DNA sequence: GTGAAAGCGCTAACAA
DNA sequence: TTGTTAGCGCTTTCAC
C-alpha cells in the first residue's frame, strides 16, 4: 500500500482494510472494534480507534457497502435524511414556511437533512411516479405536511418497498391512520372560543365552514365545530339549535381579492341545501350575535359583508377568525381581528423530534399522537352580545 | 427458489439472479441486457426485460450494490437528489419561498427531490459538522441560496470527498467561484433605473447602501451601483460627483418596525467616514433629487424620514426601492413605491434546470453563468426632478 | 479475544 | 453473443 491516503487529501477513501493493515489485526476485528463490540479487548479497540482517527476513516463514505452487508440480515442504515411531503404550489407560503422552519430547527442541529418532495394527486401514488429517492432507502422517516388522502395512497405503496417498509411516518395538522400525528388542539380551541363568547352573553352562533369532499374525516374544521358544540352542551344549550353552519365554499380564501369583492355570488353561503346571501341568513336568525370563521379570511369576508349591510363589529356582531395569519388593522395599525393561533413552528419542531426519536430507536415504536395547545387572541372584533 | 416474490408483495426484493434463473441465462447477461448493452442479442434482451417486468424488478432498491460495484471503477450513480443550502432562520420567508418554489417546479416533474440543509457559520465547513448526507454520495448536485462565503468553505471540503467530489454546484443571486451562477441582471437594473430618472431631469442621486464586510466581491449591491455609474457616465456625468453613497448599516431592514421608527440613531447614515442624519445629508447636497434604495425597506425608511422633515415624494424627491417585496399603499390600496423586481422563481427554475442538465450529462460540464433580466415598476414615488 | 471466510447484489473484465 | 468470475467494503458466523 504505497498510496496510503494522506488525511484530507485522499485519492482513495480509507477502508477498514487500511486500518487493519496499520494495526496488524484482521479486518473483522476492526469492524467489531469500531462498533464497540464487547468481544474486542479494550486495548485493541483503542489501537483501532487511534488508527482510524489517524488515517481519517470516514464511515459515511462507505454507506453503500454497509447497507449491502446489512441487507443480508434485513437490517438498515441511518442516512440522517427525513422526507417531507410539501404542498405543491406553496398555496400558503407563510403556513408552509412556518412548519418547515420548525422542522429544520430540530433536524439540522441533530445532523439531519430534509428531503423535500411534492405529491400532485392520487395518481402520484403509482409506483412509477414515486420519487425514486423515497424507494432507494435514502430516507429514515417521513413527515407529511399536506392533506392525508394522497399520502395514504403513497404510503400504501411505500410500506411494501424494502427501501421504505416500516420507517416512521408522521402527519402534521391532519390525522393519518398508521402514522404519528402532530396537530393543534382544534377541539380545545373551538371550545375555548365558544366559552369566551358565552361568557360575553352570546347564545346563538354562526359557524362558517368549507364543506370539502373529505370532510367526513376528523379534520381541523370538524374538531373546531366539535369543540364549539361541547361548550354549548356544557352550557345547557342544544348545539343543533345554537350553532348554525353556513358553507362558504364558493369563496376562495386563498385569493386576497375575494375578501373585499362586491360580486354577489361571493356573498352567498349554503345553509343546509339552500343558498342565499350571508346577510340574509343572519336576518333570518336574529338571535345570532357571533360568527366563527374557519380561518381569518372567511371571518374578514363576513366582516366585510356585515359592514356593507350597515352592521357594526363588535356592537352588532362579534367575529372570530382562526390561524391568526391575516390581520385587519385599525387606524393606529393594531390588529382588530380576534383569532386562534395554531403553533405551526412548534408543530414542526415536535414532529421532527418525534421522527428522529423513532428513526433512531433500537426497537420500532408505535405511532404517537401529539396535540399542541392553541393560543387565543381576543381583540376588538369581540364584545358583549347586543341587546 | 420457492419463495419467489409475488409482484408488489415481495418479502425479498427481486434480484438479477431471480431474473437470470427465470430466463435461463446468466447473471452477467441480465445485467448487460437491462442496461441496453449492444453485445446482447435483441431476442435475449426482450426476454430479460419481460422477465424483469413480470417479476417486478426495481433497480432503485439495489442502489447500494450498484454503487459499491461501480465504486471500483470510480463511477457514480444518480440518486435524483439535489442539495439545497438554505438560509438558516428563514430571515426573508418570501424571498426563500419564491426561490424554492421555482426550484421545486423543475425538480419534481423531473423525478428529483431537494435535500435541504442549513449552514450556520464558517465553522460549519469543518468536516465533522457537514451534514453526513452531503458526504454519503446521496446528492447529485448542489444549489446554494445563501451568501457564498460559508459555502465556499464547505465546498472546499466537499470537493475532496469521494461522495461529492466533482458534482455540479450552482449559486443563486451571488456569484461563487468554481460554481455555476444564476442571478439577476443587477447591473442592468441599476442602469435602467438611472436612465429613467435621468430622462425625468434628475442629475444628482443618493444611493443607499449596506456596507458589508464582504462587499468587495461583485455582489448584487455593487452591480447595481456599477449600473447606475455606467448610466451616469454615458450621460456625460461624472459618477463620483453625481452618485453619493450613504450607508444605512445601523438600520435593520429585516425588522419592519425599523421603517417607521422615530429613534434618532436609526435616522443616521454614514457618508464617507462621517455619520449624520439622512435629511442633513440631503440638505448639504441640495442638487440631489432622487434616492435609490438598496431594497424596498431602505427606500421606505428614507421616504419616512423625508416625510418627517416635511418633504414630499415625488414632488421634492423621487424614490426607488429594489426587489418589489414591500409595498407602500395609498388610500386606494395601490402600491406607490417604484421598484425593480428580481425574478426569484425564474432564478430557481433556471438553476434547477441547469443542475439537472449538468448532473445527468455524460461528460462533466464547465460551470455556467445565467443572468436573468429585471423588470422595472415605476409608480407614484417617481416623478420629474424639482426646479 | 481474534482471524478466516462467506456473502450482500451488482458491474466489468475475460473466456468461451 | 453469452457464461464465468473477481471484486467493491462491509458485517457476521464460525473456528481457533
Q: Chain B within 8 Å of A128 (Cβ-Cβ)?
A: no
Q: What is the per-residue pLDDT across A55-74, written as a single tens digit (0 to 9) for each?
A: 999 999 999 999 999 988 88
Listed in sequence order, the residues at least 6 apart from A382 whose beta carbon sits closer than 8 Å to its beta carbon are: A196, A197, A200, A290, A314, A318, A319, A320, A338
Quick one: pLDDT at residue B333?
Answer: 79
Q: What is the per-residue pLDDT across A298-344, written as a single tens digit (0 to 9) for each?
A: 999 999 999 999 999 999 999 999 999 889 988 887 999 999 999 99
Give residue B351's region: left, alpha or beta (phi > 0; psi -120 to 50): alpha
Quick one: pLDDT at residue B382?
Answer: 98
Facing B64 at nearest CB: one of A64, A80, A117: A64
The β-bridge relationship of strands B268-271 and B274-277 is antiparallel
Quick one: pLDDT at residue A2?
Answer: 35
Grid cell 348545539 in the structure block, residue:
A239
CA distance A79 to A112: 8
Quick one: pLDDT at residue B9?
Answer: 41
Q: What is the per-residue pLDDT across A122-145, written as a single tens digit (0 to 9) for each?
A: 454 454 578 999 999 999 999 999
Site from A133, A163, A331 to mutate, B interface, most B CB atoms within 10 angstroms: A133
Which has the higher per-residue pLDDT, B253 or A81?
A: A81
Q: Which nucleotide is closest to A32, CA to C1'?
A: D11
Quick one: pLDDT at residue A90?
Answer: 67
The β-bridge relationship of strands B141-144 and B180-184 is unpaired
Band of residue A6 on the pLDDT scale cut at 50, 70, 90:
very low
What are the structural domain ranges in chain A?
2-57, 81-183+344-372, 186-342
Q: What is the per-residue pLDDT across A259-271, written as a single tens digit (0 to 9) for each?
A: 888 888 888 999 9
Band of residue B123 on the pLDDT scale cut at 50, 70, 90:
low
Tell me if the bond preceding A16 is cis, omega within 30° of 0: no
**pLDDT-wise least confident of A152-156, B117-121, B240-244, B295-299:** B117-121
Identify the three-state secondary structure at position A376.
strand
Q: How many residues does chain A have?
A: 387
Q: Is B151 exposed, middle or buried (0-12, 13-18, 19+ CB in 10 A)?
A: buried
- Look at residue B3 and tell me whether its pLDDT is greater than 50: no
- Look at residue B105 and tell me whether its pLDDT is greater than 90: yes
Query: Which residues of chain B have a CB within 8 Å of the CB of A93?
Result: 93-94, 97, 101
pLDDT > 70: percent of chain A? 93
- Look at residue A5 and tell me whether its pLDDT is greater than 70: no
Q: What is the per-residue pLDDT across B283-325, written as a single tens digit (0 to 9) for each?
A: 999 999 999 999 999 999 999 999 999 999 999 999 999 999 8
C-alpha cell at position A284: 333570518
Tell me if the bond preceding B133 is cis, omega within 30° of 0: no
CA distance B236 to B24: 83
CA distance B45 to A7: 46
Task: Please compute the mean of the pLDDT values over residues A178-185 and round it to a whole number.
Answer: 97
First to last CA, chain B: 94
Across the interface, do B88 and A104 touch by the CB < 8 Å criterion? yes
Q: What is the per-residue pLDDT across A217-258, written as a single tens digit (0 to 9) for each?
A: 678 989 999 999 999 999 999 999 999 999 998 888 878 778
The fold for domain A186-342 equals Rossmann fold (3.40.50)
Chain centre to alpha carbon of residue A379: 27
Q: Which nucleotide is closest to A20, CA to C1'?
A: C3
CB B117 within 8 A of CB B85: yes
Homologous superfamily (CATH) of A2-57 is lambda repressor-like DNA-binding domains (1.10.260.40)
Which residues in window 26-55 of B are less than 7 A from strand C by Cβ? 27-28, 31-32, 34-35
CA distance B14 to B60: 11
Q: What is the per-residue pLDDT across B156-189, written as a single tens digit (0 to 9) for each?
A: 989 988 889 899 999 999 999 999 999 999 999 9
CA distance B83 to B169: 9
Chain-wide mean pLDDT for chain A? 90
Which residue is closest, via its CA, to the C1' of C3?
Answer: A26
Listed in sequence order, the residues at least 6 apart from B90 whose beta carbon sits closer than 8 Å to its beta carbon are: A97, A100, A101, B96
- Look at residue A121 and tell me whether its pLDDT is greater than 70: no
- Looking at 3.10.20.30, 3.30.365.10, 3.40.50.2300, 3.30.200.20, the CATH number of the domain A81-183+344-372 comes to 3.40.50.2300
C-alpha cell at position A350: 415536535
Quick one: pLDDT at residue B143?
Answer: 98
CA distance B209 to B192: 18
Q: Do domains B2-57 and B186-342 have the same CATH topology?
A: no
Quick one: pLDDT at residue B266?
Answer: 84
Quick one: pLDDT at residue B113?
Answer: 96
Which residue from A162, A130, A151, A107 is spatially nearest to B80, judged by alpha carbons? Answer: A130
Quick one: pLDDT at residue A122?
Answer: 47
CA distance A210 to A226: 15
Quick one: pLDDT at residue B8?
Answer: 40
Quick one: pLDDT at residue A123?
Answer: 53
The β-bridge relationship of strands B369-372 and B339-341 is unpaired
Quick one: pLDDT at residue B198?
Answer: 98
Q: How many residues does chain B have?
A: 387
Q: Chain A within 8 Å of B177 (Cβ-Cβ)?
A: no
Band of residue A197 on the pLDDT scale cut at 50, 70, 90:
very high
Quick one: CA dihedral A325, A328, A332, A333, positive or negative? positive
Across the interface, do B162 and A61 touch by the CB < 8 Å criterion? yes
Quick one: pLDDT at residue B121?
Answer: 57
Which residue from A55, A53, A7, A45 is spatially nearest to A25, judged by alpha carbons? Answer: A45
Amino acid at each position: 500500500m504505497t498510496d496510503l491516503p494522506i488525511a484530507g487529501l485522499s485519492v482513495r477513501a480509507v477502508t477498514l482494510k487500511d486500518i487493519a493493515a496499520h494495526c496488524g489485526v484482521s479486518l473483522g476485528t476492526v469492524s467489531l472494534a469500531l462498533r464497540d463490540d464487547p468481544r474486542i479487548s479494550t486495548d485493541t479497540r483503542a489501537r483501532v480507534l487511534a488508527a482510524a482517527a489517524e488515517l481519517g476513516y470516514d464511515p459515511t463514505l462507505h454507506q453503500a457497502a454497509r447497507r449491502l452487508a446489512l441487507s443480508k440480515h434485513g437490517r438498515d442504515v441511518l442516512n440522517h435524511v427525513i422526507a417531507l411531503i410539501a404542498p405543491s404550489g406553496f398555496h400558503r407560503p407563510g403556513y408552509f414556511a412556518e412548519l418547515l422552519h420548525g422542522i429544520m430547527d430540530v433536524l439540522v442541529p441533530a445532523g439531519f437533512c430534509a428531503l423535500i418532495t411534492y405529491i400532485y394527486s392520487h395518481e402520484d401514488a403509482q409506483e412509477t411516479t414515486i420519487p425514486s429517492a423515497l424507494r432507494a432507502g435514502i430516507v429514515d422517516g417521513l413527515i407529511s405536511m399536506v392533506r392525508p388522502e394522497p399520502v395514504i395512497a403513497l404510503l400504501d405503496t411505500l410500506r411494501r418497498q424494502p427501501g421504505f417498509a416500516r420507517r416512521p411516518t408522521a402527519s402534521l395538522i391532519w390525522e393519518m391512520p398508521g402514522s404519528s400525528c402532530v396537530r393543534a388542539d382544534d377541539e380545545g380551541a373551538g371550545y375555548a372560543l365558544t366559552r369566551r363568547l358565552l361568557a360575553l352573553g352570546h347564545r346563538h352562533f354562526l359557524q362558517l365552514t368549507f364543506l370539502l369532499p373529505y370532510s367526513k374525516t376528523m379534520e381541523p374544521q370538524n374538531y373546531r365545530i366539535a369543540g364549539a358544540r361541547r361548550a354549548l352542551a356544557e352550557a345547557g344549550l342544544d348545539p343543533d339549535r345554537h350553532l348554525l353552519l353556513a358553507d362558504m365554499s364558493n369563496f376562495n380564501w386563498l385569493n386576497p381579492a375575494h375578501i373585499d369583492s362586491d360580486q354577489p355570488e361571493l356573498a352567498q353561503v349554503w345553509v343546509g341545501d339552500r343558498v342565499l346571501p350571508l346577510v340574509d341568513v343572519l336576518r333570518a336568525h336574529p338571535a345570532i350575535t357571533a360568527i366563527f370563521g374557519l380561518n381569518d379570511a372567511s371571518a374578514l369576508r363576513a366582516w366585510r359583508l356585515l359592514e356593507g349591510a350597515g352592521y357594526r363589529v363588535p356592537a352588532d356582531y362579534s367575529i372570530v377568525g382562526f390561524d391568526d395569519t391575516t390581520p385587519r388593522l385599525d387606524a393606529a395599525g393594531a390588529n382588530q381581528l380576534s383569532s386562534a393561533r395554531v403553533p405551526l413552528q412548534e408543530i414542526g419542531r415536535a414532529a421532527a423530534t418525534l421522527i428522529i426519536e423513532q428513526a433512531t430507536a433500537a426497537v420500532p415504536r408505535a405511532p404517537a399522537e401529539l396535540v399542541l395547545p392553541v393560543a387565543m387572541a381576543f381583540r376588538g372584533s369581540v364584545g358583549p352580545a347586543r341587546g
